[in-house]
Structure formats: structure tokens, C-alpha cells
Chains A and B, each alone.
Chain A
Amino acid sequence: MSVDGDEIKEIHGPDHPESVGWTKSQKMELFADPDNPLTLEAGWVIGPIESEYETYGKLNDSASNAVLICHALTGDAHAAGWDSNPVGPLREYRKKKPGWWDTMIGPGKAIDTSRFFVICINVLGSCYGSTGPSSVNPETGQPWGLRFPVVTVGDWARVQMELLTRLGIYRLRAVIGGSMGGQIGLEMALAYPDRVRSMAILSAGHRVTTQGLAFNAVGRHAIINDPNFKSGDYYLGPPPLSGLAAARMMAQITYLSEESMGNKFGRRLRGKDSPDFTLTGIEFEMESYLNHQAESFVARYDANSYLYITRAMDYYEAAEKWGSGDLAKTAARIKAKTMVVSFSSDWLFPPELCRELVSAMCLAGCPVSYVNIPSRYGHDAFLVETEAVRRLIRIFLKD
């Protein structure tokens, strides 16, 4: 995933004592009561929906040790361990690697599954088991495509809380999320102040920046204008892979930093000493890396889900939703013990943006911890700076 991802040498196999081992995803049907469907923030009504989730560790008798992990844009519920049954082409990648935050979650790890009951829930609109545009609409028998309703971060918080309630969890010991996952975590703490005891937000904020909106717009443009896109009804034919690949290549750049790309690839040519003077072939290592990233991504992601989920990120503005534009008024709702972590070279959720939330909490009189970790890894740092993040999360979950 990250530019230095292949340098992370601490992959634990399923038999490692600190691995959660083989995992099995679960599904829960929610809002199935026709009298109580889910009314989405954008006005649509939907129900029943399915949510895929994974859990690790044991819920204690008082249900007070639940830690919710919120995944990022293209993530899934498979946060740790090895999928015991990776069905379908999108999950093929799971045969080669453990869950996306396996470095943090496991017995004895920073999010210690021998202490905590850890839950990760795939968001509504995704293509990893929760209802989304690639699911079949029961009314038509066809995939939803773009007829799927527009979902928001607020809807995700609502759905995840509903699922937790059904698991018998009233109050979360902690919610932890990075990037988009941090937006969901924040929304949980704002929407359900009494149900979140503590929250840790990494590389995330109360909104995306204008630059972030712009990046997402380019990604969607590439998908929507792919000739295979066919207004989202591509499920019976070839999918809009080149559009999705372009979206991923561009996004990948925003996850890195000039310094990390420069260090890793510089201006080196790919497998040659002099250029071939080709316009269409691969010349530079950097190009080759992006191509490779895009190739593996399009094999595991659905283009429509990419549209829905980036849109949800775009729309999220906590201050508009909770404080009529006043972020301090918004922050005053938070009762959770809060830790905010940013990374110096992150230009997608830059430190200044993370600071806005922290400042608002100070203004609102909410005690808060904030650390800006010096890092050259850009936005990816929250997944790559494992030492620093591990230490902070251990501190955060200590008492």
C-alpha cells in the first residue's frame, strides 16, 4: 500500500503468537424492520442493509472493553490476521498478506486483543461485504449501480453504532481511525458523546481540505469518463479499469510525499541506463511503481464504491453538521478522551488541519492530546510509522 510497504518486514504469519490468526468475516442484517428502515442523511430510505465486520478478542461481561477500528477509503473489515476463506477476486489479495492494520492489532500488540474486544466494520457503500453499489438491489434483482443512495460519514457512524448495539455494546472503550477512518471516529464521538469513552484520530480531521476535494474530483472524473463506465452499469461487461487505475495513481501520489518518493525512486530509469524516448512505455521507476499500485488496486476494488466513498469524505464537515459552522461549538459536544496525531509531511490531512480540531477543543475547554510526528512518509505515515504510532496507541489505551 505504502511506498515503503515492501520494507515493512514485520509481517506475522497466522501462527505467530502476536497474530490474531485465521479470521472469519461476519455479516449482520440491519434496519430489516420495514417500519424502521434507515433514513440516510441525504434523504433516501434504505433497508434492510448488510454490514460485514470482523472481531478479535473477547467481549468482557460488562461489555466495557470494545475497541472500534474504523477503516480508511479503500479499506475493509479485515483489519488483522489472515482471512481463512478469501472468496472472490476482490479478496484474492488477502492470500498474500494479513489484515490492513495487523501491525497494531493482536495479542500483546498495541491494540491488545487479549485485553480488548476489537471490531472493524466495513462501511455502507463499499465492495467488501457491506451493502453497496455492487450489491443486488432486491427490488430489481440487478446490481444497484448508481441507483444506490448517496451515503455520508454520518450514515456510517449511525450504522456502525447500530451494529455495536446489536452486539450488546453500549459504550465503546475506544474508537481509533486513520484518514477517513478518523472522520468516522470523530463523527461517532460527536453523534454519540455518551457512547465513546476515548478516541484516537490519526491523519484525519473534521473535513477534507479544498485540495483534498480537488484530488477526489479528479479520481471520479477518470472513472466516470472511462468508456466502460456506462453510467455505473458495467457489472455484466468489462469494468472501467483504466479510469479506476488513473484515480488510484493520482490518489497514491497524495498518500506519499515528495521526499519519500524522491528517496525511494529519485529519477531512476526502470531497468535501463538510458531512456528509450518512448511516450507510451514505462521509463521511470516512479511510473512503474504507480502502474504496479494501480494494477493491484483495480483487481481488488469496485469503481462505483470508489465514487460513493470519496463523495462521502467530500461531504463531511463536522462543524457544519454539529455547530452551524462553529468548530468550537462542535468540539464542545465531545466527551471522549481524545488524542489527535498528525504527521509533518502529510499533505492530504496536513498538520494545520488536524490542529484546527485540536484548537477548537481547547477553545471548548475539552482536554486533548496532540502529537505531530516528524515523518517523511506523507499521508501514508499513519500506516508506515509503526514505531511511533504503536507507542502512542499504547499510551492512549493504557488506563
Chain B
Amino acid sequence: MVDDIYRFPEGDLTRAELVDLAMTHLLGKLRDEYKESPRPETSVVRRRWQDRVILGEIVPGSTVLDLGCGRGELMGCLIGEMGAKGQAVEVDPEAAMAAMELGVPVLNLDLNEVLGDFPDSSFDYVILESTLQTLKAPLKVMNEILRVGRRGIVSFPNFGHWRVRLDLAVRGRMPVTQGLPYGWYDTPNIHLFTLSDFFDWCKESQVKADPGFALADGQIQPLSEESNISAEEVLVFLEKA
């Protein structure tokens, strides 16, 4: 894959160069947004580590459905820089309009309302970033993702992370971490699960989970045996077995 060459009017690019270019473009946009924050670079990278992984995964020219696209930076990049044919869904009207401004076609609807509109295997990839744990019916949505997309790209915070465990075990309080900054009363995370829980479900449901990536100690790492305790956030690639 890495050796694939993509031809552009400005010259040929390898796959890796293309991803770098796309990422630079994307981070540039985000840096503007975060320039007021005390540690802009950290915030951007932290929030966008998944995008780097996703940009590296998606083959240019693919069809992509982004569920909960936010302000559309990733999708704008996929469409604008990587030649993807995309559709995005975003329930927040402000974010949806910001995404449209980047040239992303956006359905300003709840993702639960729209998944049924798409035919089987109508996208090469369906992306669900950091949203699964907020859904009322996460498994229904997972099954829809695997029906509509040939490959699902799903990320979520790992409630098995050692800091989360420590908070609960030692402090006896619901954990509040950098990745999970909410109190019990205002958290959007209503279905809490660990990486191991998720893999159990994959096994039971005949879903093939390709090794994915983890954010651990501020670094992007391939998933490993220890990820259930070391990973703050994870991103996995899924296919129907």
C-alpha cells in the first residue's frame, strides 16, 4: 500500500506523502481554531490522532460515510485532498453548516434517523469517531455500520484504562480524566465499556476486528495485549466476518 503512487497535476505522490499532505492541511485548519488555547499543539494532536490514522487507512477515491462529522475537517480533507466521495451526518446545526462550508455534503440529522436510508455495502468506509459510547442503541448502530459499509472505522474512549480503574478503585469516584472530562451528571457517555468488552462483542457477533491503534501515554501505538489497560482511546477497523 505504502508504495502506491497517486498522480496529481502538480506531480506524483506516494501514499505516505499524500497522507502527510492531507494531515498538514487538516492540522493547519485546526491550529487556527485552537490558537487561543494554552497548549494549542497538544490539543490539536490529541483531538486529531484518530484522523491521522484514518487518513492513512482510507484509499484515495473511496466512498466514505462519516457519522457525526463535527465541523467536517476530516471529511473536508478526505474529499478535498484524497478524492473521496463522501456523505456526512451531523446533528448539531452549527457544526453541520461549518462542515458544509468546507464542501462536505451534510445531513443535519440524528444518525439514528439516517442509517436506514443507505443501501447495503454502499460505502467503502463508515466512520464513527468517539460517539459509540454516547448512543442509546450502540449495537443497533454498529450493525447498521457493518451493513452500510464494507469497512467500519470506530473509535471510543477505553474505560479499562488504568487511570479510570484507579479512580474508581481507590477514590471510589466516577473517573474524570483528560479524555473523559465530564461529571456523572453531565456526561454524554451513557454506555460505558472497555476495549475487552468491545472485542468480546465482536467475537460474539462474528465481526472481524483488524488490529487498530491506541492513544497511550500521548502516543499513537498499534493495539497490543496491554491496550485494555494502557489505552486511553482506541480506534479499530471492523468488517463482517
Contact = CB atoms under 8 A, between A and B. Distances in A.
Interface in B82-117: 85-87, 93, 96-97, 100-101, 103, 105-109, 114, 117
A368 B122 contact: no
A358 B107 contact: yes
A367 B105 contact: yes
A362 B87 contact: yes
Interface in B164-180: none
A371 B96 contact: yes
Interface stretch (A54-62, A170-178, A391-399): A391-399
Interface string B64-95: 00000000000000000000011100000100
B162 to A, nearest CB: 42
Interface string B118-140: 11001000000000000000000
Contacts of A368: 87, 105, 107
A337 B104 CA distance: 11
Contacts of B106: 369-370
Interface residues of B, number: 19
A359 B115 CA distance: 10
A338 B87 CA distance: 12
Given A365-B122, A369-B106, A371-B93, A395 B100 contact: yes
A339 B107 CA distance: 9
Nearest to A371: B108
Contacts of A398: 101, 103
Contacts of A358: 107, 117
A369 B96 CA distance: 9
Nearest to A362: B117
Interface in A334-383: 337-339, 358-359, 362-363, 365, 367-374
Contact of B119 (A363, A367, A372, A373): A363
A358 to B, nearest CB: 7
Interface of B: 85-87, 93, 96-97, 100-101, 103, 105-109, 114, 117-119, 122
18 contacts: A358-B107, A359-B114, A359-B117, A362-B107, A365-B122, A367-B86, A367-B105, A368-B87, A368-B107, A369-B100, A369-B105, A369-B107, A370-B108, A371-B108, A373-B93, A392-B97, A395-B97, A396-B100
